[in-house]
Chains A and B, each alone.
Chain A
Amino acid sequence: KNEVEQSPQNLTAQEGEFITINCSYSVGISALHWLQQHPGGGIVSLFMLSSGKKKHGRLIATINIQEKHSSLHITASHPRDSAVYICAVSSGSRLTFGEGTQLTVNP
């Protein structure tokens, strides 16, 4: 079993829909990161959180430390949100990554 599990692996949505991507982990962590990767390889850090909830524009990330679970929500999805979303957990300075969720938002 992987230390970081993401679901779903693939997600197709219509523009405007509310999207949720889930991440579960089985190890102790110092922080959890949500990353976005567009075709071509560039990775952008969306959130880093160790407790509670963070919001940035249409993106919301939550984490439940007791349940070892985090969710990334996208409200009013747009085709430009199409990308791979990756959950990663840090333990000290070491990162462990989930397999990623390929999101496609159709107009």
Chain B
Amino acid sequence: KAGVTQTPRYLIKTRGQQVTLSCSPISGHRSVSWYQQTPGQGLQFLFEYFSETQRNKGNFPGRFSGRQFSNSRSEMNVSTLELGDSALYLCASSFTSRAGQTNSPLHFGNGTRLTVT
């Protein structure tokens, strides 16, 4: 079974630009969640999608958005990039059988490393 695939692996953008990151979950997984990891703040929860619906959102500004498609693939978008958005962005998928709960192990992708200059 293929793992969680994130594309691209590396990205360099300029302040003010926008960026879209992609995450393909493990086949059969309906939950996809996104995380930001920085040296200063560690890992932080961005949002989680289940069957195309955003179920939960972390404390990030509205510049951070996401969506999930009918095949469970997910994208996240960051608009008007700031230097502080430089980070490793990770997504994870899980087989969540009960809506509203993360009661299955998480499977992480290798991440997209975003550098904003």
* A90 CA to B101 CA, complexed, in Å: 8
A residues neighboring B (CB under 8 Å): 30-31, 33, 35, 40-45, 48, 50, 86, 88, 90, 92-100
Given known pairs A41-B88, A99-B42, the reply for A92 and B101 (CB within 8 Å) is: yes
CB <8 Å contact, A41 and B90:
yes
Total CB contacts across the A-B interface at under 8 A: 69
In the bound complex, residues from chain B placing their C-beta under 8 Å from that of A96 are 45
In the bound complex, residues from chain B placing their C-beta under 8 Å from that of A86 are 43
CB <8 Å contact, B108 and A45:
yes
* A31 CA to B103 CA, complexed, in Å: 7
Closest to B112 in A: A41
In the bound complex, residues from chain A placing their C-beta under 8 Å from that of B103 are 30-31, 48, 50
Report B84-117 residues with CB < 8 Å from chain A CB.
88, 90, 92, 96, 100-108, 110-111, 113
A contact face: mostly helix, strand, loop, or mixed: strand
8 contacts between A and B (CB under 8 A): A42-B108, A43-B108, A88-B43, A90-B101, A93-B100, A94-B56, A95-B35, A95-B45
Interface-central residue, B43, B45, B96, by most chain A CB under 10 Å: B43
Given known pairs A93-B33, A94-B48, the reply for A41 and B110 (CB within 8 Å) is: yes
CB <8 Å contact, B111 and A94:
no
Q: Does B55 contact A (CB under 8 A)?
A: yes
Closest to B100 in A: A92
In the bound complex, residues from chain A placing their C-beta under 8 Å from that of B100 are 92-93
CB <8 Å contact, A45 and B105:
yes
CB <8 Å contact, A30 and B101:
yes
* A45 CA to B108 CA, complexed, in Å: 8
Shortest CB distance A60–B (Å): 17
Q: Does B58 contact A (CB under 8 A)?
A: yes
Given known pairs A92-B56, A92-B101, A93-B96, the reply for A44 and B48 (CB within 8 Å) is: no
Q: Does B44 contact A (CB under 8 A)?
A: yes
* A100 CA to B38 CA, complexed, in Å: 12
* A41 CA to B50 CA, complexed, in Å: 25
* A32 CA to B45 CA, complexed, in Å: 15
